[in-house]
Chain A
C-alpha cells in the first residue's frame, strides 16, 4: 500500500460528492403506486412514497416484506409491474439517475480480478472523479481495511466483503443512497464506522434510505417506513414506530 495515500489518524470526513451539485429538483425519490409481482402473488402492493432531499429514512420489515424489491425497482434493476418511480425527477436507470444514486446491495459482488483499491479507482473514475485517492484511503481507514486494500475482495470473508462493498458505494458522488441490510456480518467497529459514514453523507446533504433492523440506525432517523408482506403498514416518525413496537417486532423476527 506504499503508493497509496495514508489514511489520516482522525477520521475527518472529506466531503462525499453529494454537496457538489446544487439541489434544484423537487424530491430525491418519488414512488407512485409502484407494484411488483414475481408470478407467485404480489411481492409489492401499490406503494407510494416520497423521499425528500437530505432525508434519512429507515425501511423496516420482515424478510420477504418487499424491502429489497422496492429498493431494486428504485435502482432500475427491476421493472415495476405497474406504477413508477422517479429519482430526482428522472427515470430509474437513466444516466442522470445513475450518476446521483448509489445502491449498496444486500449481497456484495466484486470483479474477480481487481483489488479493493482497484475497485475504488475504477468506480471513482467511471463517475468522473479526478481526485479520489485521499477519499479512498480515508474510507478504507475508517472501515479498518486499509491494510487489505491490495487484496482481492472476491476472496474475503463475508464481513470484510461487506466493508469493501461499503467503501465502493461511498467512494463515488451521490445525492441519494439506497442501502439494503448493510449491517449484516459487520463487527461492532464496522457498524460504528458505517453509522459515521451515514452521518457524514447526511451532513453533506445526501438522502438515505436504509433497509435495516439495526436499532442504532433507526433511532438516528427521523422517519421510518415499515412494510409487511409487500404492503406499507407504517410511514411516520421513527420515535412513533419505536413506540408502537414496530421496530422491535418487525426487526427481531427477521434476525435469523
Chain B
C-alpha cells in the first residue's frame, strides 16, 4: 500500500500510514481515543435489512460518528449490474462524504462494528487504499464494552466539524477488475501464481442453493479456481475477535497465500472480503487486491465461468501446477514459434542448400582422402604414432577446455534470442528450466560436429594404420565428442561461476603449455590431455582408464547444467543480438560481418587513443593518412593475432619446404585472415558505403588509395614471417623473402577481393540475382566465397616451386622468383579490378540491357 504515494504524488504527503497498525486491540483503543485527531467510526450494517442508524442511536461508543455503509461507502448509482451490489463511490463522492463526516486525509480513524469487522473492514480498507491512517477495532463494540466497563452513548449522530478530504482516484493496483480476474483464468502463459479468496460462507461458495443464498447470489457457485476463505473463520466464535497472528498465518498458508504472488479477495459484494484483506495484512502477508464487484458483479454476466462444489486447496498441487504451467507456457511458445518459422522456410531453397553442402563436403572429403596415399605406414612409424599420438591428440581436448573457459568468461557459450531474454528470462520462471533446452541444443550441435570431424580424421588415419577403418572412425568420433563436451561444459561452468577473463586465459595457457611440453619428443612428462588423446587410439588398442576424460566431460556438463540458473543476464542479452546476426552472416557467407560480429562478441574495440599521433605530410593522399589513423588504433588483442598469424604462416611455409604440401592451405588461410585484419581501413570504408557514395570521388580510386597504408604495414608482417622461417629452418634464409612477399601479397589480394565484393552495388538492385535459377545463384555465391581464399593460397605457391626445384637440383631462388612474378602480375589484375569494378559492372549491365532491348525488338518484329 505504500505505493500509493508514488501513484498520486500531487497529494499531500501522508505520514506514518505505514506504521499504523491495521488492527488495534480495545486496550490500545482506550489509549488512542484520548488523543486529538482520532475519529471513531461506527460502521455497523446488516445484511438482513435492519436499520443500522437506529442501532447506532440506541447505543454506540462515546464520541463515535456514524458511517452509513450504503450511503457513504458505496456508489449511489447501483444500476450497473457488472459493478456489483456495492461498488466503490466516485473519488469525489467519497471525499465529500468524508469531509461531511469530519474526516480529513490526516485523520486517524478507528472503525468498529458488531460482527468482528465484516463491515468496518470495508471502511478501513478504503481509507488505507487512499493512504489514510485507519485501523479496525478488534472485537468491535463488544470488546470495547468488556474492556472499558463503560456504558454506551445514545442519541443521534452529532453534526461534526467538516473535514478536508481531497478527492483521490482509487489506486488501480490495489483493486482487481473483472477483466483482470478473467485474464487470470484464461491466461495460458501464467507468469504469476494468483490466489483468489472467496470470503462468503461455505454454502454459498459451494453453490448449495437455499432460500438465503438464492436471495443473495444471482447464480450459485464461485469463480473457478478460487479458494473458500469465509470471513467468520478468521474470528474467534466466542469473542468475535480476530484469531491470533500465528493461527491466521496457518489459516492462510493452508490457502497457499504464502506461495502466491498475487492475492485477490472477493465475497458477495466487496464488503466481507475486506476482512480478509485486513487480516492478511495483520498476519504479515503482502497486500491483497480487492475485487469490488465480487460475486454479485461476476455472476451477473451469464457468460462468466462458474464453478460449484467445495474445494480444498492442495498446496503441493498448487505449487506444482503453477510452475509446470509456467514451463508448459514456455514449451507452448517454442512450439508455436517453431511452427511459424517452419512456415516461413522456403523448402526448395533449404533442400537445395543441403544438397549443395552435401555435394561439396562429400566431394571435398573424398578428394582429400584420395590425396593421402593409402600405403600403410611402417611399423616403426606406427609405434611412434601410438607413443606420441595421445599427447599430441590430447592437445585437442586441452585446447577445447581452454577455449571453453575463455568463451565462458566472456559470456558464452549460450546464444538465445533477444526476445527470449526480454520476455521469458525476465518472467518469474525458473531460468534453469528455460536455459536447459538451448544448453542441451548447444551441446548437441558442438558434440555432433566434433564427433563428425573426429570420425573423418579417424577414418583417414585408419587407412594407413593397423586396425579397421571402422574402429578408427569410431574411436575418433568418441575423441572428438569428448573434446566438444569439454568445451561446452567448461564454458557453461566458467560462465555460471563468473570466471574472470584473465583467469581463464592464465588457466588455459598453463594447461596448454603443460600439454605441449608433454608432447615434445623427449619429454617424460604426462600431460593433462594424454588420456583424452588416448581415446583416439582405441582403433587399435583399448585402455579403459582413458574413459576418464569422457566421464569428466560429462561431470562438467552436469555441473554446468545444474548451475544454468546463474548465467548472467547481461552477457546473455549482449550475445543474443550479436549471435543471431552472426548466424545470419555465416549463412550468407558474409565474412566481413562475421569478423565484425566476432569482434563485438569478444568486445574487441579500436583504441580510443591511437598508439601514435601522426601528422599529415604533404604529397600523401587523404586516404593514406586516414588508413594510418585507423591502423594505429588496433587494440593489443588484434596486434597479437596479427603477429600469431604471421608466425603460423611462416611455420606453414617451413612445413611446405620440408615436404608437407598440404601446409599450403594453412599458409594461405592464415595469410587470408591476416589480410582481412590489415585491410581494415578499406573494410571500414565499405561498411559505410553511404558515406563513400556521398564523397565527390571515384569509388575505385578511393578503395585503391585506402590499400596503400595496408600495403605499407605488410612490411613488418613479412619481416616476422621471414624471421620465423629463418629461425625454424636456417637453410631457408635464401628463399624466405622471395617466398614470403608473394605469400603476403596473395593473402592481401584475397582479402581485398573478399572485402570489395561485399560492397553493395552503387545502386542496389537485386532484380538481376532474382532472375538467376537457384543452381546458378547458389554456385555463384559459393564461388564468390571461395575464390578469394584460392587466391590467397596461390600466393604461397613459390615455396612449392622451391621444393620442386630442390628436388630437381635446379636453382631454388630463380624458381621461386618466376612464380612470385606471376603472383605480382595477378595482384595488378586484381588491383585493376578493384579500381574499375564499378565501370566493368556498369558496362556489363548496359550491354545486357542492350541485348535485352534487341531481343525484345526482334521479338516485336517477328
Supply 6 A–B pairs (Cβ within 8 Å), ascending by A: A75-B694, A79-B763, A98-B696, A110-B688, A113-B629, A126-B696
Q: A113–B629 Cα gap in the complex (Å)? A: 8
Residues of B within 8 A of A145 (CB): none
* Shortest CB distance A246–B (Å): 30
The reply to whether A103 and B629 form a contact with Cβ atoms under 8 Å apart is no
Q: A99–B626 Cα gap in the complex (Å)? A: 20
Interface centre among A79, A101, A121, A122 (most CB of B within 10 A): A122
Q: Which of B594-612 contact A (CB under 8 A)?
A: 605-606, 608-609
- Residue A24, interface by CB 8 Å: no
Residues of B within 8 A of A102 (CB): 694
Q: Contacts A109-B690, A111-B684, A112-B684 hold; do A95 and B606 have CB atoms under 8 A apart?
A: no
Known: A98-B696, A113-B684. 12 other contacts (CB 8 A): A78-B763, A79-B765, A98-B694, A102-B694, A103-B694, A109-B691, A111-B687, A113-B681, A118-B626, A118-B629, A122-B622, A125-B622
Q: A114–B762 Cα gap in the complex (Å)? A: 24
Residues of A within 8 A of B625 (CB): 121, 125
The reply to whether B694 and A113 form a contact with Cβ atoms under 8 Å apart is no
Q: A115–B630 Cα gap in the complex (Å)? A: 9
The reply to whether B630 and A111 form a contact with Cβ atoms under 8 Å apart is yes
The reply to whether B693 and A109 form a contact with Cβ atoms under 8 Å apart is no
The reply to whether A155 and B605 form a contact with Cβ atoms under 8 Å apart is yes
* Shortest CB distance A247–B (Å): 29
- Residue B695, interface by CB 8 Å: yes
Name the interface size band of chain B.
20 to 34
The reply to whether A113 and B630 form a contact with Cβ atoms under 8 Å apart is yes
Q: A123–B684 Cα gap in the complex (Å)? A: 14
Residues of B within 8 A of A79 (CB): 763, 765
Q: Which of A168-186 contact B (CB under 8 A)?
A: none
Q: Which of A115-151 contact B (CB under 8 A)?
A: 115, 118, 121-123, 125-128, 150-151
Q: Which of B668-717 contact A (CB under 8 A)?
A: 680-681, 684-685, 687-688, 690-691, 693-698, 702
- Residue B633, interface by CB 8 Å: yes
Q: Which among A105, A111, A126 is the interface contact of B695 at CB below 8 angstroms? A: A126
Closest to A126 in B: B695
Residues of A within 8 A of B693 (CB): 76-77, 93, 98
The reply to whether A151 and B608 form a contact with Cβ atoms under 8 Å apart is yes
Q: A78–B698 Cα gap in the complex (Å)? A: 18
Q: Which among B606, B695, B702 is the interface contact of A112 at CB below 8 angstroms? A: B606
- Residue A152, interface by CB 8 Å: yes
The reply to whether A98 and B695 form a contact with Cβ atoms under 8 Å apart is yes
Closest to B697 in A: A126
The reply to whether A93 and B762 form a contact with Cβ atoms under 8 Å apart is yes
Residues of B within 8 A of A154 (CB): 606
Q: Which among B606, B680, B688 is the interface contact of A109 at CB below 8 angstroms? A: B688
Residues of A within 8 A of B633 (CB): 113, 152
The reply to whether B763 and A76 form a contact with Cβ atoms under 8 Å apart is yes
Q: Contacts A118-B626, A118-B629, A122-B626 hold; do A150 and B690 have CB atoms under 8 A apart?
A: no
Q: Contacts A113-B633, A125-B622, A126-B622 hold; do A105 and B608 have CB atoms under 8 A apart?
A: no
Residues of A within 8 A of B688 (CB): 109-111
* Shortest CB distance A91–B (Å): 11
The reply to whether A152 and B690 form a contact with Cβ atoms under 8 Å apart is no
Q: Which of B121-159 contact A (CB under 8 A)?
A: none
The reply to whether B762 and A127 form a contact with Cβ atoms under 8 Å apart is no
Closest to B633 in A: A113
Q: A105–B690 Cα gap in the complex (Å)? A: 9
Residues of A within 8 A of B697 (CB): 126
Q: Which of B738-780 contact A (CB under 8 A)?
A: 762-763, 765
Residues of B within 8 A of A121 (CB): 625
Q: A174–B438 Cα gap in the complex (Å)? A: 53
The reply to whether B630 and A114 form a contact with Cβ atoms under 8 Å apart is yes
* Shortest CB distance A101–B (Å): 8
The reply to whether B763 and A114 form a contact with Cβ atoms under 8 Å apart is no
* Shortest CB distance B621–A (Å): 9
* Shortest CB distance A222–B (Å): 27
4 nearest interchain CB pairs? A113-B630, A99-B696, A125-B622, A113-B606
